[in-house]
């Protein structure tokens, strides 16, 4: 599946934030690195900004964990919460591309706009291509970019672990 560049990047940062909040207590540096690793240009985050982005990540996680039929309503609620105004930008020598928040919107507003904008594109195109890994104990949120759109696991490694465990269980019971 091929997503537009903005939707893809925004959806990927949404998945990364939804994964970040799944377990241990992430730090402000974890939040900053997660956003930067997914193409966001953030100079730094205050403790309050990191906490607000983590709270946003928990809301994003609900979208990934939800049934595809419920995702439109969840994303619409997040769109209303983020309240942004799209505009076209051509900074840093890049061709014109869509931004959902100005550079002056602050880190929290920019992360909210980017992540929910990407999810909105994805939910409109393919609401069933969001998920949380089906391996017990994993919980990584992902965007399914596979050809057939039937991913249940975040990675081949998790899928293999489940399949091997299932195979061994069948072998023992036989």
**What is the predicted pLDDT for the residue at 148?**
82
pLDDT at residue 62 in the model: 97
Domain extent for 158: 5-173
Confidence at residue 166, expressed as pLDDT on a 0 to 100 scale:
75
Query: Which tops the pLDDT comparison, 155 or 99?
Result: 155
Between strands 130-132 and 141-143, the pairing is: antiparallel
**Is 57 buried (19+), middle (13-18) or exposed (0-12) by CB count in 10 A?**
buried
- The span from the CA of 15 to the CA of 37, in Å, is 12
Q: Which SS3 state, helix, strand or coil, does residue 106 take?
A: coil
Q: Compute the average pLDDT of residues 17-44.
A: 91
pLDDT band at 6 (very low <50, low <70, confident <90, very high): very low
User: What backbone torsions phi and psi does residue 5 show, to the nearest 5 degrees?
Assistant: -60, -40
- Reported as a pLDDT band with limits 50, 70 and 90, residue 8 is confident
Number of domains, the chain? 1
Banded pLDDT at 40 (limits 50, 70, 90): confident
Mean pLDDT of 114-135: 91
Give the CA distances from residue 115 to residues 1, 109, 156, 157, in Å, rounded to whole numbers and listed in that order: 19, 10, 25, 26
**Cβ atoms of residues 118 and 7 within 8 Å:** yes
Q: Name the more confident of 148 and 79.
A: 79
Residue 7 has a pLDDT of: 55
pTM (2 d.p.) = 0.85
pLDDT at 5: 42
pLDDT band, very low/low/confident/very high, at 3 (cuts 50, 70, 90): very low
Among 170, 125, 165, 172, smallest CA distance to 149 is for: 125
CATH of the domain at 89: 1.10.3300.10
**CA distances (Å), origin 83, targets 37, 78, 90, 112, 163:** 25, 9, 22, 9, 43
């Amino acid at each position: 599946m091929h997503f537009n560049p903005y939707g893809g990047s925004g959806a990927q940062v949404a998945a990364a934030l939804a994964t970040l909040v799944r377990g241990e207590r992430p730090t402000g540096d974890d939040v900053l690195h997660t956003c930067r690793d997914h193409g966001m240009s953030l100079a730094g985050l205050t403790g309050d900004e990191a906490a607000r982005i983590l709270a946003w990540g928990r809301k994003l996680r609900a979208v990934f964990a939800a049934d595809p039929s419920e995702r439109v309503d969840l994303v619409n609620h997040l769109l209303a919460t983020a309240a942004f105004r799209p505009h076209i930008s051509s900074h840093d020598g890049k061709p014109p591309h869509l931004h959902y928040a100005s550079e002056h919107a602050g880190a929290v507003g920019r992360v909210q706009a980017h992540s929910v904008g990407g999810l909105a594109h994805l939910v409109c195109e393919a609401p069933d291509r969001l998920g949380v890994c089906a391996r017990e104990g994993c919980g990584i949120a992902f965007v399914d970019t596979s050809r057939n759109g039937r991913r249940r696991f975040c990675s081949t490694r998790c899928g293999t672990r489940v399949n091997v465990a299932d195979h061994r269980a069948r072998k023992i019971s036989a």
